[in-house]
Amino acid sequence: MQSFKTLIRNNMRQYSMLLVLAAILVLFQLLTGGLLITPLNLTNIVLQNSYIVILAIGMLPIIITARIDLSVGSIAAFVGAVAAILMVNLGAGLVPTLLAGLLIGALIGAWQGFWVAYRNIPAFIVTLSTQLVFRGLTVVVLDGRSIGPFTEGFQALSTSYLPDLFALHGLHITSLLVAVVGCVAMILLELRNRAEERRYGFSGSKSWMSIVKMIILCGAILGVSYVFASYQGFPTVLLIMIVLVIVYTFITRKTVFGRHMYALGGNEKAAGLSGVNIKRVLFSTFVNMGLLAGLAGLVFAARLNAGTPKAGNGFELDAIAACFIGGASVYGGTGSVSGALIGCLIMGVMNNGMSIMGIAVDLQQAIKGLVILAAVAFDMYAKSKES
Distance CA 218, CA 187 (A): 9
Q: Residue 206: is its pLDDT beyond 70?
A: no
The pLDDT assigned to 347 comes to: 87
With a cut of 80, say whether residue 199 has pLDDT above it.
no
**pLDDT over 50 at 4, yes or no:** no
Cα(115)–Cα(142) distance, rounded to whole angstroms? 28
Per the prediction, the chain carries an average pLDDT of: 87
Whether the per-residue pLDDT at 85 is higher than 50: the answer is yes
Cite the residue boundaries of each domain of the chain with CATH code 1.10.3470: 15-160+235-380
**Tens digits of residue pLDDT in 226-243:** 888 888 889 999 999 999
Q: How far is CA 144 from the centre of its chain?
A: 30
Q: Please state which CATH number belongs to domain 15-160+235-380.
A: 1.10.3470
Distances (CA, A) of 359 to 206, 293, 313, 370, 377: 44, 30, 21, 16, 26
